[in-house]
Amino acid sequence: MAKTELATRRPAAAPAPADTDEKVLLAAGKLFREKGFAATTVREIAAAAQMLPGSLHYRYASKDDILVALMRRGVERAIRAVELATAGEPSAIERLRLGLRAHLELLCNGDDSLYVLLFDWRSLTSGALSGVIRERERLEAFWEGLLVEAHGSGVARPLLDIELVRHFGFGAINWVATWYREGDGRTPAQIADAFWSFLAFGLLHESARPPDLDTHFAALLAASFKKGS
């Protein structure tokens, strides 16, 4: 038999583990986002990934394990996107603005893993919840670092509750994914820049701001410390 015939009859090589995992996580992310974690079955994930349920179970012991892996992927992609967007930028304030933009563009442009990380993590059972919380804390710590650098740049208001800024800021920016529709007005980058303007410059005109803003922010910071003590 000719070698060419043997070549045509040889079965295709099995997909690499990384490729298979990517197929599973892409399929799971899409289903979790569309149907919710609780309503999605392992059989549906296997079908969407074009594999047998038994093969999927061999790679992931449970649906919780798939969600944890998906969330880990979301954190890694989110951090990498911000690092790429801010690479070489010397200004800590500008890195924060560019990072917010990169984060929102990733979230709004179809990254299901990041969306599920932000909105579906409470669906996990207690056994896997600790792993997801670690991933969320890793992302929060990354952004905490950017905020601390921006706050220490010398141009930010000296008296700020960084933790509250992070909670308020990311609560608002992440919620954009629930109402954003592609082609309906502003792009994610434009929304991020508008949000940055509100966050950095405020809503009140300079003439309408009270003259004792530093005292005002000092009181807010003192109240935060008092509550945490």
pLDDT at 5 over 60: no
C-alpha to C-alpha distance for 32 and 40, rounded to whole angstroms: 6
What would the pLDDT profile of 151-206 be if each residue is shown by its tens digit? 999 888 888 888 888 888 888 998 998 889 888 888 999 999 999 998 888 888 88
**H-only helix segments in the chain:** 3-9, 17-35, 42-48, 53-59, 63-86, 92-108, 112-119, 126-151, 162-179, 188-201, 213-228
Tell whether the model's pLDDT for residue 4 goes beyond 60.
Answer: no
pTM: 0.79
What percent of the chain has a predicted confidence (pLDDT) above 70? Answer: 85
Please give the residue that has the higher pLDDT: either 20 or 122. 20
pLDDT tens for each residue of 106-128: 988 867 888 887 777 666 666 66
Q: Report residue 225's pLDDT band, with 50, 70 and 90 as the boundaries.
A: low
Whether the per-residue pLDDT at 222 is higher than 70: the answer is: yes
pLDDT at 124: 66
Closest CA to 198 of 165, 154, 152, 163: 165
Using an 8 Å Cβ cutoff, are 123 and 185 in contact? no
51-55, 79-83, 214-218, 222-226: segment of lowest average pLDDT: 222-226
Each domain of the chain, given as residue ranges in start order, spans 13-61, 67-228
Instruction: Tell me what the pLDDT averaged over the chain comes to.
Output: 83
Q: Cβ distance 28 to 123 under 8 Å?
A: no
Rounded Cα–Cα distance for residues 22 and 73 (Å): 9
- Across 201-213, average pLDDT: 84
Residue 2: band (very low, low, confident or very high) from pLDDT cuts 50, 70, 90: very low
Identify which has the larger pLDDT, 24 or 130: 24
Q: Report which of 179, 164, 181 is spatially closest to residue 221, judged by C-alpha positions.
A: 164
Task: With a cut of 70, say whether residue 45 has pLDDT above it.
Answer: yes
DSSP 42-61: HHHHHHHTTS-HHHHHHH-S
Q: What's the rounded Cα separation, in Å, for the pair 70 and 65?
A: 9
Predicted confidence band at 93 (pLDDT cuts at 50, 70, 90)?
very high
Residue 10's pLDDT band, with cuts at 50, 70 and 90, is very low
Pick the CATH number of 67-228 from 2.120.10.30, 3.40.50.150, 1.10.357.10, 1.10.3720.10: 1.10.357.10
Task: Report the candidate in 101, 88, 36, 43 with the shortest Cα–Cα distance to residue 67.
Answer: 36
Q: Which residues contact 53 (CB under 8 A, 6 or more apart)?
A: 42, 43, 46
Which residue would you say has higher pLDDT here, 188 or 228? Answer: 188
Pick from 133-147, 174-188, 202-216: least confident: 202-216
Tell me the one-letter amino acid at 200: A
How crowded is the C-beta side of 86, counted as CA atoms within 13 Å? 24
- Mapped onto helix, strand or coil, the DSSP state of residue 187 is coil
Segment 133-140 mean pLDDT: 86
User: What dotted CATH number matches 13-61?
Assistant: 1.10.10.60
